[in-house]
Structure 1
Amino acid sequence: MRVLFLHPNFPAQFRHVATILGRDPNNQVVFGTKNERPEWKIPGVKKALFTPSRDPRPETHHYVRPLESAVLHGQAVYRTMLALKSQGFVPDLVYGHSGWGPTLFVKDVFPESKLMCYFEWFYWAHGSDADFDPADPLSPDDEAKIRVKNAPILMDLYSCDWGLSPTKWQKSQFPHEFQRKMTAMHDGVDTEFFKPNPGAKLVLPNIDLSGADEIVTYVSRGMEPYRGFPEFIESIAYLQEKRPNCHVVIVASERVCYGKSLPNGQTYKEQMLAKVPLDMSRVHFVGTLPYGQYLKVLQASDAHIYLTRPFVLSWSMIESMSAGCVVVGSDTAPVREVIRDGDNGFLVDFFSPKQIADRVHDILEHPTRMAHIRENARKTVLENYAHSVLLPRHIELMKEVAQGNLPEPQPIASIPERSLVVSG
């Protein structure tokens, strides 16, 4: 099979499927990306670099700037695909991440190739992430901008032969008329790597918590409201009152990956630490970590807090469950798809730091009672999210789409009523 992957960042969500396909000498695998990093390689996978000719113009209407960026990315990929075609490479399947634009013009260069898109999120002003926090209301300008942000995704939904979305919740956000040609399938996690290590002690290059009685963990790409960072920090204050020997380890970078930054250049970490008095000798910000050290954090965790708006589900939550963590997760749709309260984890009110702290306190107070929670968390991942289960299905789906044997139309997931208010 000849496959062309497309993603601005190599290898992103396609690392594992590209690795499997690259091992087979009968396959030709090319990965189109603008990330040159020579140290990142996959055996059997050839990189084809693309570079947008420019950035979106500052004078472009701010609603349209993301679309202009997508078109510039698509244009750059168009040139790269023409070069590949001139070299005799015509893929059976093009598989790309929708939204940034690389997949926009695939059918113009390779009209006979099948196009499969990875659909991570469809934006709505109401009913999911954007209007979740009542303290952060949307303006009419925000609402209109959100609608236009879907333009490149809608183009891909129309032109692709099939789509994949990682969770049922995420698939449910897409318009009904397109869900019929989408499969809900998670990327999966490496359960042989992310596995429990009972009695593990946490020692990192710059931190030694081997003597800590209790360790609470939090993992996120950034420190931001979308992942409940403000509520998490407030919960630590309550927790420290109840648990004088509890240490908190925070694996995250001091940035905003989703949503709005603070207008004054201040980070949410700075804002929250100025607002909430904490015993900082028991709070450890370790930044982002290599996978081996990140795993040690999860294996040493006595309670793991994962909070998110109704948005894309983080891999880290599945990885923490695979490692046998007791997860305290927000009672929001993406988390409820995986966690059953009191069975394989616990659900709490996203907006209640006190409830979060109380639940963690209960877990730390009764560690032996948590054994079945840890076991069920691990079992949930082994049965539904393990690479050993999902990667063969993922590869088979790709082969079927490449051969034109498209799956049966998929069931439609219901979504809330949506509305849009536009200012004059």
Structure 2
Amino acid sequence: MRILFLHNNFPAQYRHVALTLAQDPKNVVVFGTKNREVNLAGINKVLFAPNRDPHPSTHHYVRPLEGAVLHGQAVYKMAEQMKAQGFVPDVICGHSGWGPTLFVKDAFPNTPLICYFEWFYHAVGTDADFDPAEPLTVDDVARIRVKNAPILIDLYTCDRGLSPTNWQKSQFPKEFHDKISVLHDGVDTEFFKPNPGAKLVLPNLDLSGVDEIVTYVARGMEPYRGFPQFIESLAYVQERRPNCHAVIVGSDRVCYGKSLPDGKTFKELMLNKVPLDLSRVHFTGSLPYVQYLKVIQASSVHVYLTRPFVLSWSMIEAMSTGCLVLGSDTAPVTEIIRDGENGLLVDFFSPQKIADRIDEVLDHPTKMAELRANARKTALERYDLASLLPQHIQLIKDVVT
């Protein structure tokens, strides 16, 4: 079987599927991407790049669509070169939204296309209008509607689609739901497993003598993932718990949502606003997986906050290690965490309540042991890579046949 994967970033959600398919000598796995840096054994990486950026004079509603078209155009040219070299895929798997999948059915009209549908944008009822302190303008509402244009083209064009959670699938128009299967990427539960009594020691951080460690993990430090509320909650925690330390994993950047207009980062803003004992707050930056694993294995309580948006892999990875996850009471989280059963839920907007629930965990370690065990059980039963990976492979095979 000849499989073509398409994603701006390599290997992204397709790492495990592509590697597994590449292990079969009967398969030829090609990955079209913009990422020049990473290579994986058995996967033939082919690069594409748009020939320019969206033009500054393009209407700002349409600029993301123009960017998607430019990416789609680059992939189309890449596909024409593949055909000239004799490669025609039996199936194409591509991430929808940034444009690589837009014209691939024109290049390979007889090849089935499976699109990964991660998010469909809404002005009302999800992430965009979640914070009442950030009301949307009429301009915002119109811009958000147009942002779905490349995704709608993919919904129409693809043969099958998949979304990682029921919540994320529910955001797409109902008339396309029959095309979309819910299939999570999966978590390697053999790697992300509990290590009872683990002490946190990293190359530049030794917390082996600390018994109370609050952890927070996100790609960036931004309102979408509740970073401001988490920092405010630490002030309450530090006041009451003089031996408690916080470990924050992630980059000082914005991955989702708007940056601050004055050029400051949200880390700078919050540390200027909230008086903290910074000797007990440890910013690690992004970590290699092995070090990140050590952080969550040693965690006393792991705080995961998110707007009603795409669910992070990190929450389920934390549950798989047996972390006590304190999650925001928002739809992507409540699909997985049941308060008092396999984790705890809290009001996203209340730093004081976040701190109170952190106290609850730290004050009752024995009571929380059952929740930790249930968190691990949830990961094993519903999100285990070893169980989900064969389903991904079968979906691809079903589309081909």
Same fold (TM over 0.5): yes
Q: Which moved more, 1:377-386 or 1:83-92?
A: 83-92
Aligned residue for 2:110?
112
Q: Distance in 1 between matches of 2:29 and 2:386?
A: 22
| 1:244-323 pair list within 5 angstroms | 244-323=242-321
Structure 1 unaligned segments of length 5 or more: list them: 404-424
Report the residue type matching 2:198 in the other structure: A
Partner of 2:13: 13
State the AA in 1 paired with 2:309.
F
Q: Name 1:368's counterpart in structure 2.
A: 366
Q: Note the 1:182-261 alignment, pairs <5 A.
A: 182-261=180-259
Cα offset, 1:341, TM superposition: 0.4
AA partner of residue 348 (structure 1): V
Output the CA distance in 2 between the equivalents of 1:170 and 1:35.
26
For residues 127 and 391 of structure 2, what CA distance do their matches in structure 1 show?
Answer: 30
Measured in 2, the distance between the counterparts of 1:252 and 1:41 equals 23
Which residue matches 1:22?
A: 22
Cα pair 1:223 1:253 within 8 Å, conserved = yes
Matched AA of 1:396 = Q
Q: Give unpaired runs (5+ residues) of structure 2.
A: none
Q: Normalised by the size of structure 2, how large is the TM-score?
A: 0.99
Q: Which residue does the alignment assign to 1:169? A: 167
SS in 1 for 2:250: strand
CA distance in 1, matches of 2:128, 2:277: 33
SS of equivalent to 2:46: strand
Q: The residue matched to 1:271 in structure 2 has which SS?
A: helix
Amino acid at match of 1:220: A
Give the match for residue 35 of structure 2.
35
Match of 1:50 among 35, 48, 51: 48
State the partner residue of 1:69.
67
Q: Structure 1: how far apart are the matches of 2:68 and 2:263?
A: 27
Find 1:344's aligned residue among 333, 342, 345: 342
Q: List per-residue Cα deviations over 1:148-180 (Å, max 9, x = no partner).
A: 000000000000000000000000000011111
Q: Cα offset for 1:78?
A: 0.3
**Cα distance, 1:244 vs. partner?**
1.0
**Any idea what the Cα deviations from partners look like across 1:270-311, whole Å, max 9, x if unmatched?**
111111111111111111000000000000000000000000
SS in 1 for 2:132: coil
Task: Provide the C-alpha distance between the structure 2 equivalents of 1:397 and 1:63, rounded to a whole number of angstroms.
Answer: 35
1:41, distance to aligned residue in structure 2 (A): 2.1
Distance in 1, matches of 2:199 and 2:181, equals 40
Counterparts of residues 96-107 of structure 1 (less than 5 Å) = 96-107=94-105
Distance 2:211 2:324 in 1: 16
CA distance in 2 between counterparts of 1:213 and 1:12 reads: 35
The partner residue of 2:179 within 178, 181, 184 is 181
The number of residues matched between the two structures is 401
Offset from partner CA, 1:38-74 (integer Å, 9 cap, x none): xx22222101111111111111110000000000000
**TM-score, length of structure 1 as denominator length:** 0.94
The C-alpha deviation readout for 1:164-207, integer Å capped at 9, x for no partner, is: 00000000000011111100111011001000000000011111
- Deviation readout 1:9-31 (Å, 9 max, x if unpaired): 11010000000000001011100
- 1:324 corresponds, among 322, 327, 350, to 322
Check conservation: 1:96, 1:116, Cα contact below 8 A: yes
Superposed CA RMSD: 0.6
Question: 2:157 & 2:372 partners in 1: Cα distance?
Answer: 43
Who is 1:388 aligned against? Answer: 386
Contact 1:204 1:293 in 2 (8 A): yes
Q: Does the Cα contact within 8 Å between 1:327 and 1:345 map onto a contact in 2?
A: yes
Structure 1 stretches (4+) deviating beyond 6 angstroms? none
Q: Which has the higher contact order (CA 8 A, sep 6+)?
A: 1
Shift of 1:86: 1.1
Partners of 1:107 and 1:227 in 2: CA distance: 36
What is the deviation of 1:386?
0.6
Residue 217 of structure 1 deviates from its aligned partner by 0.2
Q: Matched residues in 1 for 2:39 and 2:265: separation?
A: 34
- The answer to whether the 8 A contact 1:22-1:42 is kept is no
Aligned to 1:414: none
Alpha-carbon distance in 2 for matches of 1:10, 1:283: 33
